Chain A
Amino acid sequence: MNSAGAIDAPASYVPFDQDVLGALMPMHLHISPTGHIASVGPTLAKLRPNDDLVGQRLLEVFEIKRPLHVNHFSDLLEHESCLIRTRFRKGDRLGMKGLFVPLSAQPPLQPDRRGASDSDLVLRPTSERSAARSLQPSRGALINLSLGVNVVDAVQRYRLSGADFAPADPTVDMLYLIEAKSVALEESKRLNARLEGARVAAEVQAFTDTLTGLQNRRSMDALLHELEKSDQPFGLMHLDLDYFKQVNDTFGHGAGDYVLKHVSGVLQDETRAGDLVARVGGDEFVLVFRGCVDLAVLEGIAWRIISRLEQPVPYGDDVCRISASIGTTLSSFYAKPMADRMLQDADRALYSSKGKGRACHTVFDPADAQIVEE
């Protein structure tokens, strides 16, 4: 073995037994001086199960893509030691890459300067021509190939196993890592999906009144805020139950809850799916009718709701009696509809309904507002 300083000296020729060569480089090709394949590594041979490559011409079996313009084996020898990209000419045209090393003479090993300069240098056969060497007769060449990124495909297609790769080759470790990382990634994706589901559910809960399943004040605020920004017309109804406190006081909270659920059923029945029905207080509800500023329609709805809520609700052996007062306002009453202002006005109309003796519907009169403002 030469000392580190003596890299100019030619390395000695190390003859390898074919089996040893195959064990060290399972994907090698040994090429004779005439350009015929003299021996094939066992793994490379597996890629052509029905074809004995030994004895065939290298360039008839393989298309050489790099280096460029290789038409004869002698062209390759001209390149001396070089990186090679190739693929089979026939059948499954699997791409491979590797190193081509002519055996014409043992060229002195020279540091490969492609990598980082501060780490230990890798010694590779030099590509410098020397007059002395070109006089020596060719002994053929060695090519050591690798499947590169096509390895996953090749392993599947030719059922390669760990034993088909040299122990020093990290391919099997790479496949292990790919698989381990995909398992971890799959788990992470599943976790993300579950968390997203939980987030959506939490959001729905945050906008829902837990007792009645109606929307809550937060949901109403969000919708009114959205309508404020859009030019879409809408009707706003504020509903307050009458005599609800008596139901609670007389028959207990169980009866009260039961009545609230009944009310929410009626409100949902009497509105369209796209309308908002929100419970905004103990016995207070707000209804928003998107795109509807037709007073006749809204009055019809309000009176239907009141008459249905006036019907007695049986609860066990008891009968609960309630009613409702409603105040309504329309976005078309305002030059620039503001949610807070409209809620206030609907509330004012609601209180005039209460003042009229309950079980009443009142539409807010814009004339009143002007009086207030003035």
Chain B
Amino acid sequence: MYGLVHRALQCFAQDIYGEELWLKVVDDAGLQLREYEAMLMYPDDQLESVLAALSTHLGRTVAQVSEDVGAYLVTHDRMEPVRRLLRFGGTTFEEFVLSLDDLHDRVKLALPDLDLPQLEVDVHSHTSFSVVLYTRQPGFGAVLLGILRAMGDDYGALVVLNLARATRDGKAAEWVTVELFEADFSSGRDFGLIAETGAS
């Protein structure tokens, strides 16, 4: 997998908990490096080792850490490009959730080799959805949960989210149920189609 994903974990550890913690994680996970390069490829199993080491050091479950990573991707300044690319999904939170169906293909358009898990959106009603995620290794569901929670705030929507796991059609699946209570609960954050560059 692209170092983009590994590097996201690294930046999360550095930005939220500091360089010192990251170096401990590097040691525990037995990594031969201190920094990931976003555009180089690294083995997938390093993601699990890093997450496990983070979870040990922070005294939180892997799922909790993963959810924090998801929220970090949307809310931290260093990750602003991620938030912006997600906001291209739609002008309202509902549209955004529906756009997750296309996220996999959208990402492919930009980075053909970045193989993120495929998402599928089930619509139950105007305000109730499930985002289903099929993946070989469970764990992305928790990241998705964090992303959706933070994106709800970003759009200013009041949402209740839940993560569930089961087997569907013989495949392991995770899904996040989304209940949208109020689309305009708060003002949310601004989004312009073109990023502001330095001086306005």
Contact = CB atoms under 8 A, between A and B. Distances in A.
Interface of A: 152, 155-156, 159-163, 172-173, 175-177, 179-181, 183-184, 187-188, 190-191, 194
Interface stretch (B10-18, B49-57, B83-91, B133-141): B83-91
Interface residues of B, number: 21
B109 interface: yes
Interface string B34-65: 00011110000000000000000000000000
Interface stretch (B69-77, B181-189, B191-199): B191-199
B84 A179 contact: yes
Given A177-B110, A180-B110, A188 B39 contact: yes
Contacts of B110: 177, 180-181, 183-184
A194 B36 CA distance: 12
Given A176-B85, A183-B85, 8 more contacts: A162-B88, A175-B194, A176-B88, A177-B110, A179-B88, A181-B110, A184-B111, A188-B39
Interface of B: 4, 37-40, 81, 84-85, 88, 90-91, 106-107, 109-111, 191-195
B38 A191 contact: yes
A233 B37 CA distance: 48
B115 to A, nearest CB: 15
A205 B111 CA distance: 36
Contact of B193 (A161, A180, A187, A194): A161
Nearest to B109: A177
Contacts of A181: 110
Nearest to A171: B193
A181 B107 CA distance: 10
Given A162-B90, A180-B85, A155 B39 contact: no
A65 to B, nearest CB: 26
B91 A162 contact: yes
A181 B85 CA distance: 11
Contacts of B191: 161
16 contacts: A155-B194, A161-B193, A175-B193, A175-B194, A176-B88, A177-B109, A179-B81, A179-B84, A179-B195, A181-B110, A183-B85, A184-B39, A184-B111, A187-B39, A191-B40, A194-B37
Given A162-B90, A179-B81, A180-B85, A155 B192 contact: yes
